[in-house]
């Protein structure tokens, strides 16, 4: 309720009136399946109880006025009746502008509005604060203007905003789980068909996220380069996406790839298989198998896709020594910093948090942040 009160009060202070409604869009953590989404592959995220809140009221002048309560109450405004351009030094505002552009591209008739934004999804941590903002804005306009857009299309519009306006070539996972998340469930996502498979979290297990506080920025990082390398590999195999390359095909025909591109492709091909296996292992409560799959995923991100960093690897190794085969741990998110995710039995939660607190800062000079969440539902009016 604290966050709800913050956005309502911030809205009233900025616009001198109460908001008509408030939208909540969750962040997400991906349990397994990294950099497979833009390869049309498989991922297994869940929505988390850290979210972006968007308070909205209608205007009758075709203007959109914004305030971000988390950026010193920075403001932005633009007209729905004029070309909407990218603004420098206000990245948060460009996510909003990009969503509006994509809604208009699809022929949706939008109304002016006042919007206040706040949230507690850690930024730059790999928990999808940007996707939560995009989905929250898209759903807010859907509700304000009675557009009747499906949750899947909310996600697609939000992804297009990030791809086309903000300039990050992300896949669909982050936006789709923020839109379609389920209470107490992870979702296995087929990123080609957008089919969703409900995946249960085994009883007695908690989801822990540790932010390494190694800052990362996807637009400025090597994320887009990894995508280009995957596209080059797909072209070699004469398919549109690496999702269509079976392990046997990869092993038989990989010699025609450069050593670097072959490593990138190997990660994606095997990560898809690990993700499909994980869906079964979670639903069967096979903790030993989950442990093996998450460990394999991390090792692949470290040595083949090369998106981890020493701080992340130290944290994963520290937790793995305590967990053994009683749970799983891996880096999560785009890489180059950010978060790790661990599936931990209830009786080891405090032990693992203490172990990280006792070792991580002295080893790296950085102080970790800890988040605990069970899966929550996707975007909604609250």
Residues 6+ apart with CB under 8 A from 340: 209, 210, 212, 312, 315, 316, 319, 329, 330, 331, 332
What is the Cα–Cα distance from 85 to 113, expressed in whole angstroms? 18
Choose among 112, 119, 129, 117: nearest CA to 77: 112
User: What count of other Cβ atoms lies within 10 Å of the Cβ of residue 147?
Assistant: 17
Query: Per-residue DSSP letters for 201-268?
Result: PPTTEEEEEEE------GGGSSHHHHHHHHHHHHHHTTSSSGGG--HHHHHHHGGGS-HHHHHHHHHH
Token output for 305: 């896709």
Q: Tell me if residue 17 falls in helix, strand or coil.
A: coil
Q: Is 174 a catalytic residue?
A: yes
Name the strand (E) or helix (H) holding 359: helix 349-364
Name the strand (E) or helix (H) holding 189: strand 185-190
Q: Tell me if residue 321 falls in helix, strand or coil.
A: helix
Q: How far is CA 139 from CA 35, 54, 150, 180, 352, in A?
A: 26, 9, 10, 12, 37
Which residue in 40, 60, 174, 244 is the catalytic one?
A: 174
Which active-site residues does the annotation give?
174
């Amino acid at each position: 309720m604290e966050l709800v009160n913050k956005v309502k009060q911030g809205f009233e202070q900025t616009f001198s009136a109460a908001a008509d409604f408030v939208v909540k869009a969750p962040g997400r953590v991906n349990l397994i399946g990294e950099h497979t989404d833009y390869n049309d592959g498989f991922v297994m995220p869940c929505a988390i109880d850290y979210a972006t809140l968007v308070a909205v009221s209608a205007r009758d002048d075709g203007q959109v006025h914004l305030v971000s309560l988390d950026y010193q109450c920075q403001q932005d405004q633009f007209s729905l009746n004029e070309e909407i351009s990218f603004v420098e030094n206000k990245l948060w505002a460009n996510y909003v502008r990009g969503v509006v552009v994509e809604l208009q591209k699809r022929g949706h008739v939008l109304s002016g509005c006042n919007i206040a934004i706040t949230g507690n999804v850690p930024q730059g941590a790999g928990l999808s604060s940007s996707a939560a903002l995009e989905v929250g804005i898209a759903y807010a306009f859907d509700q304000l203007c009675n557009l009747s857009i499906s949750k899947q299309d909310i996600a697609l519009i939000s992804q297009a905003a990030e791809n086309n306006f903000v300039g990050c070539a992300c896949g669909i996972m982050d936006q789709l789980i923020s839109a379609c998340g389920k209470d107490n469930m992870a979702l296995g996502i087929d990123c080609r068909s957008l089919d969703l498979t409900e995946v249960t979290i085994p009883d007695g297990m908690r989801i822990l996220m540790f932010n390494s506080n190694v800052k990362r920025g996807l637009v400025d990082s090597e994320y887009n380069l990894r995508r280009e390398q995957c596209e080059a590999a797909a072209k070699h195999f004469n398919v549109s996406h690496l999702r269509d390359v079976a392990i046997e095909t990869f092993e038989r025909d990989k010699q025609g790839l450069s050593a670097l591109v072959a490593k990138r492709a190997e990660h994606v091909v095997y990560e898809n298989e690990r993700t499909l296996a994980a869906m079964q292992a979670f639903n069967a409560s096979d903790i030993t198998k989950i442990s093996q799959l998450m460990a394999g995923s991390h090792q692949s991100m470290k040595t083949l896709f090369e998106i981890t960093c020493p701080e992340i690897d130290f944290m994963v190794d520290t937790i793995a020594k305590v967990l053994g085969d009683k749970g799983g741990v891996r880096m999560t998110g785009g890489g180059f910093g950010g978060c790790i995710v661990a599936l931990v039995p209830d009786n080891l939660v405090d032990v693992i948090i203490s172990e990280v607190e006792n070792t991580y800062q002295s080893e790296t000079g950085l102080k970790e942040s800890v988040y605990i969440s069970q899966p929550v539902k996707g975007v909604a009016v609250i």
